[in-house]
Amino acid sequence: EDQVTQSPEALRLQEGESSSLNCSYTVSGLRGLFWYRQDPGKGPEFLFTLYSAGEEKEKERLKATLTKKESFLHITAPKPEDSATYLCAVQQGGKLIFGQGTELSVKP
């Protein structure tokens, strides 16, 4: 069964305290792994797409990596404005399958 699991469910950091979010997946015929950011009351906003093991992508304080079984979203020196829910999803055929998300809170 295709499945996406994110951990932790919630993460509280101090400003400047780097950490990582995990997304593990089991899917046949992976066509891409996606990271999204979601702010309260809004729709998810695209961050990264990764297609093959070993691939890495960066954007400001965020860096996403991919292995054959999991992806990590590394957050370096986070700021309060990085507080949001981060969602991971895998493309399987015509479907996007989402994990349950990690709620990140960064305190000043």
Partner 1 sequence: NAGVTQTPKFQVLKTGQSMTLQCAQDMNHEYMSWYRQDPGMGLRLIHYSVGAGITDQGEVPNGYNVSRSTTEDFPLRLLSAAPSQTSVYFCASSAKGGTEAFFGQGTRLTVV
What residue ranges bind partner 1 (CB under 8 A)?
A: 31-32, 34, 41-46, 49, 51, 87, 89, 91, 93-101
Is 101:40 a contact under the CB 8 Å cutoff? no
Based on CB atoms, which residue is closest to partner 1, 60 or 108?
Answer: 60
Nearest to partner 1 of 32, 61 (CB atom): 32
Taking the complex as a whole, the smallest distance from the CB of residue 60 to partner 1 amounts, in Å, to: 17
Quick check: 61 and 16 in contact, CB under 8 A? no
Separation of first and last alpha carbons in the chain: 41
Choose between 24 and 32: whose C-beta lies nearer to partner 1.
Answer: 32
- To the nearest whole angstrom, how small is the minimum distance from the Cβ of residue 79 to partner 1? 24
CA pair distance 38, 88, nearest whole angstrom: 11
Looking at beta carbons only, is 17 or 32 nearer to partner 1?
A: 32
Beta carbon of residue 77, minimum distance to partner 1 (angstroms, whole number): 26
